[in-house]
Amino acid sequence: MIIKSVLLFILSFSIVHGVWAQTILGIDVSKWQGTINWQQVSNSGKVFAYVKATEGMTYTDPKFLTNITNGKAAGVVMGAYHFARPDNNSAVQDATNFLNVAGSYTGNGYLPPVLDIEDINRNGGTTYLSDLFTPAQLTAWVQTWVTTVQNQTGVTPTIYTNTNYAGYLNSSLNVYGLWIAKPNTSPSAPPNNIGNWNDWQFKQYSWEGFVPGISGNVDLNVFHGSVDDFNELIGLNVENDDCSGAILLNSDSTCMATMGSVDDATSSGWPVAGCDLYAGNALAADVFYKFVATDTIQTISVNPSGDLDAVVSLYEGSDCANLTEIACSDNGGGFGQSEHLTATGLTVGQTYWIRVYDYGSQPPTDGNFEICVTYTSAGSEDISLSDAIITSSGTVNAGETVTAEVTQHYSGNSDVIPDVYLYYYLSEDCVLDASDVLLYDQDFSTINQADPSDEESQVLTIPAATTPGAYYILFVGDATQVIDEFDESNNTACAQITVTNGVSQDIYLSDASITSSTLVT
């Protein structure tokens, strides 16, 4: 992506010319900085910026979207922070507000999400968190917030606080990056007291900085680490760019999504997947995952957050040097469409590898996605049909159309399942066999435990050569058998129709006239 290329150039330029050595500088802002000229900020050498997104369970900073969008467009690496309000709300309420507003601005190319935990100065008064919570209570609140956000985004949050609370919070939180407030210090001097943390990630070294493009004072920050460290933090070093670095996914009964991206991935040089029909020179910049099968049937779901047109393939073998493709999914739906690959006949306990890349010759502008692996044990799911009716006339001429409707239902506990196809047949006896005529096979339901029913309707053409008589429209649910059901007997339903000989009948009038005098007195 252009923004990331700019970032790498800035950092490389800085090192070569000795301007900052490896000191990576940034700012943090909120609505109080007003309208910001982000291009000037970028030109001044500020590499990153944190933007206030939310506070408490309802508040959204009115400048958040403008700042994070314009900052990224100017080449600044952006991140979002949340001002904690444990005095009023639960950690889950606060986290939910942040995720609803800023959840899309996490992951590759962004700074980690931040929880700002400090005393609350509002309306001329100060609420001291240490008066309201013991260290254990406040630690539990913070832990719940960071866990909730990490589970949703797949990114480990950073905690912003001052020296007082860095020592007040329990050491169990020091597994999270620390952004320590140390105003009136030098960007090159390490903080002298970081409480229960062993290391620090960012330091806020001034509350009264001046930066071109911003009117008035602004907070100044420095990153603790090298260029490689910074790039790794924001996801530019793609961990799973090669098969050997494949990320291990858990197989669950429901989709437990992991964030992923093909941004900045490179091609492994492998042949394109078997289902990839792109005729040009495919870029195939791929990333890799692996999982241990917990069922003979597993579904791999990839849900893009942007314009990724994902190709998903599955491999088996002893290691990365000896893999064979066994399944593939490319639905042809285009940019941003989800892919669901259901593989059958797997061996429980065996490791399988997943490869994901973008279709075509050009990378997407946003290659981020969520991926999960799910299983459904045999006997726990079912597809059934109900309410089969003919909504047009039940008598139809051969060669003409009839409108048929049915409701397809899902019973089970899966959040994501493959498209469940519904086929329509013309049948003499409402029993599916070789004599039945397939009328339509492109209708499907996107059903799951959250949305278990879908009403389907199709206009069907009765073949012109059909012999007049009584027939049924035979509906067949899960016609492609993507669900391992506990009851296959309820997959069909019928609605009766009568087919006539195809000669339209009508009553009409003609030759109207007056045979007596046309003058009446």
Structure tokens at 150: 């990490």
Q: Which helix (H) or strand (E) holds 166?
A: helix 163-168
CA distance 473 to 426: 5
- The closest alpha carbon to 402, from 340, 341, 469, 463, belongs to 463
- The closest alpha carbon to 211, from 36, 50, 72, belongs to 36
Structure tokens at 193: 């007291």
CB 304 within 8 A of CB 365: no
Structure tokens at 307: 């314009």
- The closest alpha carbon to 456, from 388, 382, 392, 383, belongs to 388
Crossing angle of helices 91-102 and 64-73, rounded to 10°:
50
Q: Which residues contact 18 (CB under 8 A, 6 or more apart)?
A: none
Structure tokens at 469: 């008589």
For the annotated catalytic residues, the residue numbers are 28, 116, 118
Q: Which helix (H) or strand (E) holds 325?
A: strand 323-329
CB 407 within 8 A of CB 387: yes
CA distance 301 to 255: 8
- The closest alpha carbon to 14, from 299, 230, 235, belongs to 230
CA distance 275 to 313: 8
Region label for 389, one of left (φ > 0), alpha (ψ between -120 and 50) or beta (otherwise): beta
Q: How many CB atoms lie within 10 A of CB 327?
A: 22
Distance of CA 144 to the CA centre of its chain: 22
CA distance 138 to 131: 11
CB 270 within 8 A of CB 355: yes
